[in-house]
Chain A
Amino acid sequence: MPVWTAETVIALAPDAASISAGRGLADAGKWASAGANEAAAWGEAKGSGSKPYQVTVDLGDGASKCSCPSRKFPCKHALGLLLRIAKGDVPNGEPPDWATDWVEKRGQKAAPKVAPAPPSAKTVEKRWDTVQKGLDECEAFLRDAVGNGLLALSSARSWDEMARRMTDAKAQGVGRRLRAIGSAVGVDNARAAADLGSLALLIEAARRGDELGDLAYDVRTALGVPTPDDSAETVVDVWDAVGTFGDQEDRLWTRRTWFLGRQTGRWALHLAFAAGNAPPPPLAPFGAALAAEARFSPSAWPLRATLESASPREFEPRRGGTWAEAFEAQANALALNPWIELFPVLLRDATLAQGEARWLVVDAEGVGVTLANGSEEREWLLGRTGNLPCEIFGEFDGERFTLVSYREIES
């Protein structure tokens, strides 16, 4: 069973109100019954109605089912039950029929959802033609931007307009990059120019798909074009979930869950998408681990993966490294795939340092990189760690590090 802590449970909550309501239910007195086994927990939460709500939670991935009318997912009852699990006050027992039914319907216990079928080759090629036309238009726009000068085109509206056209041309990835450039122009011109060049390289590469080998998959991914489901690499390992992060763009939520292979040291990124008010739940919460086959999407530097035939394990991730090691790993990855946007970094014995106008994440060797998180998250971390060295995981974009999770290591 993964290690469920209050923090891993809270990471599942769709909003602050649910956290609060869930905490209110993390008390045995609020439950008519509750039990758990290795795979699932179940319980009957007393509500204001005559019948208690029946809730079942899959302890492998935190998925849940509840008979309450809430449209939030997971609901407060599922969170409350998981918080009780985290406190260790749910007794072991045999599941009732309604819990067994749900667990069985989910198929194999703790099995992750099967990825949707990829589009057919014909659909992919048709879409590719549309994309190519859009890229022609985009390249002309970029040349004009450089020809006339970025300063003359500092209105974000022009960039947004072109981004919309790229979305119409089925190249959402290009649209997203254009919006990012538009918001950087006039604020961080070096960044805007660098991203502009990176996008130009991407368009250039898209025209040379036949010459690129596995990198062609990365180009398509960077453009936002689905790739054919070609033969993918499979790696069997115990995958520790070292961090999960929900991000919203254009009304679409993306849930990134980062896994680190315990034996292989490989990174695997699981992506889930959802429209609505909250990110989809992670495949596994931070602090969980799955023994699984990671099926990597084709890439020159395979990273995105689905985890199959998974079964839970204790969370015992590899120790992190130093910034020097992370820089080297990033350089090696970029040599294979120049369009990697976020690089996973796990640092050991990390602390924070205060620079002149920025905060830095510092490794055991005294090397620091700018921390991207705002004051609230920074103070949250400092309050918990007291700046004593801890294991920190985050996403590095080449300049700034965004904290995703931390872990205190007992010396």
Chain B
Amino acid sequence: MSDRIELEGFADLVASAQVGTRKAVPTRKTEFPLEETERTVLLELGTLALVRRAGSTGVRTVSLPPAPAETLRIADAADALEEALDESVSAALEWAREAADRGFVAPTSVVSRLVPLVKRHPEFGPVLGERGRWLAGVMGVELNEPTDVLPDKEDWGSLDPKERVRLVEDGPGDLELFAKALGDRRKEVRETAAERLIRMPESPQAQELTRMALAAVVLHKGLLKSSLEVSPPKPELLPKWMPQDYPTHGMGGIANALRDLLARVPPSLWGESPERLLDLSKRSEYADALRLGWERATVRFGDVAWGEALFLRFFGSLSPFVAEPIVNGVSEAVFDREIVARLRGRDKAMSTAFDMLRWRAAPFSASLSREIVAIARAIGGSHYVLESLGTRLDLSALPLLNDPWDEGLAEELRLKWRKILDLRRRLHESLR
């Protein structure tokens, strides 16, 4: 016990207790009584701790600047939104889209829950209001709000790749700039520029692809019989600037080149109905490449006529790459007619119809919603997709869910649907 520790204040007492009085003997001007050393240290610790607490003081500081005042109307949806965030984010997202359209923002009581969700669900961004944007700043959450000001193309050389992509993607049609961007050192900038140029019929690049596509697939129209003459381009002859998709399994390089070329020209190029072209293509040895290319072009150029033709022709067998966007591009009338027919058929196609319903993002029409409810009741609510449809059923279906159904899955489904539809109704009414 050679070490000694001289006590002057609370910190020394703490140090003494930490090290141990038997290892470093505490001393003051007067020696601690040996037999009472530990007791003395303990009681002095207690006394000083009490004195310190009784003398509590705060620190001088400056408060965080307050949030700016709200400029938009605040929706009276606090309870319903809390419930939606607990149980059905899709209902909250539906509300957020409608609220943004109508110029409402979320009540302040839920903004602390919405801010962390914005990254995953950007729909919440516009309804955060001033309070939410302020809180996001406090929380260090980047909102990635779209800014009106695009980078200046004069600064192209000094822009970072993200800014170059944004300028090409969101800027006005500028053939010169896009052509320059095709030679950019970053792949994402080159590909963005190529996509813009493909969609501009006046661009040399679009015209080049059009020439190649019309040469590769020639439609011979006859009085009695038409035909397609398919002469795919050699892969090495495709323009170097044209991005290529991942090769389709089971197709060779030439077929993939044909697919990629057709995917980048409007499918209406041949001036023939999609149904007729699809029929003719079945006889070609490149039938798969033709179909895949046209499917992708349909999605790329948002061609409604082709979308509906593909939906009707290949219902249930669209390639996974395009099925969802095509289902979402079909008009409500066509979608409803086809789905209802298959639901009523209650055969294998019913299951495919359920998948289509699952993919369809838009809310269902009132008549389709009634049909879905009737089918669910009839089949006993036994299909796994059914529960998820509650977030898109039309609110007019709510009265159909008031009376009990049969016991079991059907009744369980009815209660779940009723709950979610009722929640959506309350959210909707908060924006009146």
Contacts and interface: CB of A to CB of B under 8 A. Distances in A.
A193 B17 contact: yes
A151 interface: yes
Interface string B317-353: 0000000000000000000000000000000000000
B62 interface: yes
B100 interface: no
B54 A360 contact: no
Nearest to A338: B50
Contact of B49 (A26, A195, A387): A195
Contacts of B132: 383
Contact of A369 (B42, B58, B115): B58
Given A147-B22, A197-B47, A387 B66 contact: yes
B109 A383 contact: yes
Contacts of B426: 27
B398 to A, nearest CB: 10
A48 B20 contact: no
Interface string A334-345: 110010000000
Residue among A16, A20, A360 with max Cβ neighbours from chain B (10 Å): A20
B142 interface: no
B58 A323 contact: yes
B42 A143 contact: yes
A201 interface: yes
Interface in B269-317: none
Contact of B18 (A142, A189, A386, A387): A189
Contacts of A198: 46, 49-50
Contacts of B37: 147
Contacts of B82: 19-20, 23
B131 to A, nearest CB: 5
A85 to B, nearest CB: 13
B61 A197 contact: no
Give the interface size class of chain B.
35 or more
**Chain A binding surface SS class:** helix
Contacts of B10: 190
B59 A388 contact: no
B47 to A, nearest CB: 7
Given A200-B43, A353-B64, A334 B54 contact: yes
Interface stretch (B133-141, B222-230, B384-392): B133-141
A148 interface: yes
Interface stretch (B158-166, B179-187, B354-362, B415-423): B415-423
Interface string A362-404: 1100111100000110011011101110000000101100000
B24 to A, nearest CB: 9
Contacts of A204: 43
A355 B109 CA distance: 25
Given A334-B53, A352-B64, A23 B109 contact: no
A201 B44 CA distance: 9
Contacts of B147: none
A334 B50 contact: yes
B21 A147 contact: yes
Given A24-B423, A48-B411, A152-B20, A197 B109 contact: no
A327 interface: yes
B38 A387 contact: no
B52 interface: yes
Contacts of A16: 86
Residue from B21, B59, B62 with most neighbouring chain A CB atoms (10 Å): B59
Contacts of A387: 63-67
A396 B57 CA distance: 12
B45 A194 contact: yes
B120 interface: no
Contact of A20 (B56, B87, B415): B87
B61 A360 contact: yes
A24 B83 contact: yes
Contact of B59 (A48, A145, A351, A368): A368
B18 A151 contact: yes
A330 interface: yes
Interface string B1-14: 00000000011011
Given A193-B45, A353-B61, A386 B415 contact: no
Interface of A: 6, 16, 19-20, 23-24, 26-27, 29, 48, 83, 142-152, 189-190, 193-201, 204, 323, 327, 330-331, 334-335, 338, 351-355, 360, 362-363, 366-369, 375-376, 379-380, 382-384, 386-388, 396, 398-399
Interface of B: 10-11, 13-14, 16-23, 37-39, 41-50, 52-67, 78-80, 82-83, 86-87, 108-113, 115, 131-132, 134-135, 138-139, 404, 411, 415, 419, 422-423, 426
5 contacts: A48-B411, A149-B22, A355-B59, A379-B139, A383-B132
Given A26-B79, A386-B66, 10 more contacts: A48-B411, A146-B17, A149-B18, A193-B14, A197-B46, A338-B50, A354-B64, A368-B58, A368-B59, A369-B59
Closest 9 CB pairs of A and B: A149-B20, A197-B45, A197-B46, A386-B67, A383-B112, A194-B49, A200-B42, A201-B46, A398-B53
